[in-house]
Chains A and B, each alone.
Chain A
Amino acid sequence: MDGAFFDGRTSRPHQVDVAISEGALLFEAGGTRHAWPLEGLRVEVLGDRVRLSCDAGADGRLTLSRADWRAVLGRHGRRVEARGRRREGRVVLSLAAVGLTMAAIVFVGLPAASGPLARHTPPDLERQIGDSFDAQLGLGMKTCSGGEGQAALARFGHQLQARTGTPFDIRVRAVRAPFANAMALPGGRILVTDKLIAFTRTPDELSAVIAHEVAHVERRHVMQAMWRSLGAGLLLDLVVGGGSGAGQQAVLLAGSASDLRYSRRAEAEADARGMELLQAEGLSSQGMAPFFRRVAAGDGEKAASPLRELVSSHPDSLRRAQVSAAHARPGAAAFDTQAWASIRAACPPARAPH
């Protein structure tokens, strides 16, 4: 049968006469005899012809009419193509295994390991990270000027610290920010925003929020979250690259959703431990429930839409209010009237609205 042959050394075309013998294609081109074993032939179907290549032929390419190819090889030709499909199946299976392993590490392994990892992080390193965080946050959130109020907050932080056995010096301070929130940084710093102080109605509410943050510090939740997101971020980035495709974005989104699940668990833990700390000091733990109830009702804040709750890391305020109410006990106020007044005045109104 007729064939067209390129020998892979130059682009010169050769018309060849192809014979079949002992399981090989035999042909001669430019004075060289070629024998290509049928076993191991690679086949490309191109409309009414096929292009053949094989390891023995290196870059050489032999083109036959599809009819010739079918007629001569019969069932053999189909087996050659099936081999390619098996090979792809193996690739997909191993990739799926790699993907599954990565997913297991990100969604199960890392969260499980983040607790021990956080506990074994040297406190000095955590302090350093916290300092760096604080310096960066400080660019946007200026420390409030009211010295007396700041002192009252700091005193309360140290009071709870004595109950915890944390290696960190807990330093609570009020900062100016465009939102109501309190946050624990790595290494024991706790920031309370002016909007949050304005939002709380009683000393009990504010002390409950601060106790919650102290519990985060004690349990090293921030370090845990950092390990989790560092590991997940690294691994998922390794999988998807910097890619911007829809599939790649979906994988990253799944990663952050998983992180959210674990941060909810940490919130519940901090709620409970925070109340414990207050009760151990003989202080009232009744501020938590009304605080969360008002957050849930959207008092003073934008209404908590379903979307908001999904993306917020302090979700489900109503449920948290109920749990807190069930465990609340009366006690002394954390701040006396004078301290409370100085805290309320710690962040005098800014000169101009932001």
Chain B
Amino acid sequence: MFNSDNPTPEGVETLTFAQKVRLGSFLGLSVKNGLLNLVTLTLYRFWGRTEVRRRLWQAIYLNDEPFEYTGRGGELFRGFLYAMLLVGLPLLVVVAGAQFLGPKFAALIIFPIYLFLFVLFGFARFSAFRYLASRTLWRGVRFQLKGSRIRYGFSYLGYLLLSVITLGWFWPAAERRLAGPLWDGLRFGDRRFRFSLDAARKIPIYRAFIPAALVFGVLYFAVMGVIFAIRFAAQKAQPAAPDGAMIVLIYAMLLPLSVLGVLIFAPYQAARLRSVVAGISLEDARFRLEVKWWGMAMLELGNLLLLIISLGLLFPVVEARTARFLISRLKSTGTADLASAVQAPRGPGTGEGLADAFGAINL
């Protein structure tokens, strides 16, 4: 079960990950969650998400000991209510009030709010990770995420603006940098994880990003061009052509476009994940994610298909597939003292309210 009589210096181990995710179990859970969401006007989603995580966490093993998720549906629900009351409602009042005061004033106030929303998005993302860490247990010891959520929110906005200014050029670097605080602030009990940008940079991401962005850009404009050409021709031939056909056409083009997009960006996604994982360390243990672009493409295409066919119902299956894919490719070398971590404090009482409102949660 574990090696308390390990010959290595006390408590020092290499890290071996394993997973026993059974997709069938998540298929049943998807159906159950879907039905209960229907009955409760989607209010059950917090409990449904919690059960998905509980099953997922306990199917992931580190050195033969499964993780445990200790979060509760009620915590997510309360977090959601707080977020609606403390952020959603005031925002609504301000926006409605601004419109009331006239269009010019509205424009003046909407722009800063827009910027503020991006800060909030980063804030929400960090909060969600902090909650997740605090509800993750291994060998009876909690994880914790330290760091400033506000600072993370502002770096999110900053990196986003930089990406906009550089026409997306900076975005891959931004994504990698934004992973930094989430891993550098992570602790198993009192044992500190580190994130090194230099180590992460050893795996190039722009080499995969540039061709993908170029190809996709050309493809995107080609498709848009075709749509406009057809629209123009249709309007000439029959001025009163129904809008319905146009909408069908646009969707018919978007599906292959998103499939191609997944394929084209798969090498970049794989490189990005490899790069981030390469930057993480725990004491002398370093990590490696053996993800190839083809595997990544198959994973994402499968997920896309499952979600489209099931109208999102099979999201738990998608999460399970993704976890299975990643954990079975996660390797570690070097050692860490995993036996003398001291318990972390309980962490925040509620979680993810904001992130739920933004739809910003994956896992």
Contact = CB atoms under 8 A, between A and B. Distances in A.
Interface in A206-245: 234, 237-245
A44 B240 contact: no
Given A6-B139, A136-B103, A241 B340 contact: no
A10 interface: yes
Contacts of A303: 240, 242
B2 A4 contact: yes
B66 to A, nearest CB: 5
Contacts of B118: none
Interface residues of A, number: 53
B140 A11 contact: yes
Interface string A125-159: 00011001001100100000000000000000000
Nearest to B353: A241
A349 interface: no
Interface in A84-120: 88, 91-92, 95-96, 98-99, 102-103
B139 A99 contact: no
A82 interface: no
B84 interface: yes
Contact of B102 (A129, A132, A307): A132
Interface string B303-342: 0000000011101000000000000000000000011111
B140 A8 contact: yes
Nearest to A128: B100
B102 A92 contact: no
A6 B140 contact: yes
A103 B80 CA distance: 19
Contacts of B1: 4, 49, 63
Contacts of B84: 237-238, 241
Interface residues of B, number: 57
Given A7-B140, A60-B140, A245 B39 contact: no
Nearest to B43: A95
A112 to B, nearest CB: 20
A246 B244 contact: no
Interface in A277-325: 302-303, 305, 307
B254 interface: no
Given A8-B343, A11-B339, A46-B66, A241 B80 contact: yes
Most buried by A among B68, B100, B141: B141
A92 B39 contact: yes
B362 interface: no
A241 B357 contact: yes
Contact of B312 (A46, A139, A240, A247): A247
Contact of B36 (A12, A13, A92, A240): A92
A166 interface: no
B99 A242 contact: no
B40 A10 contact: no
A99 B47 contact: no
Interface in B77-98: 80, 83-84, 88, 92
B4 A13 contact: yes
A248 interface: yes
Contacts of B341: 10-11
Contacts of A248: 42
B141 A6 contact: yes
A247 B340 contact: no
B189 A11 contact: yes
A59 B100 contact: no
Contacts of B47: 88, 91-92, 95
Contacts of A7: 140
Interface string B1-17: 11010000001000000
B312 A245 contact: yes
A307 B245 CA distance: 12
Interface of A: 4, 6-15, 44, 46-47, 49, 51, 59-61, 63, 88, 91-92, 95-96, 98-99, 102-103, 128-129, 132, 135-136, 139, 234, 237-248, 251, 302-303, 305, 307
Interface of B: 1-2, 4, 11, 20, 34, 36-45, 47, 58, 66, 68, 73-74, 80, 83-84, 88, 92, 99-103, 137-142, 188-189, 240, 242, 244, 311-313, 315, 338-343, 356-359
Task: Across the A-B interface, give the 10 residue pairs with the lowest CB-CB distance, nearest first.
Answer: A6-B140, A99-B41, A95-B40, A11-B139, A246-B311, A246-B312, A11-B341, A8-B140, A99-B40, A242-B357
Given A92-B47, A247-B38, 12 more contacts: A6-B140, A8-B343, A11-B140, A12-B11, A15-B4, A46-B58, A59-B137, A59-B141, A99-B40, A103-B41, A243-B357, A303-B240
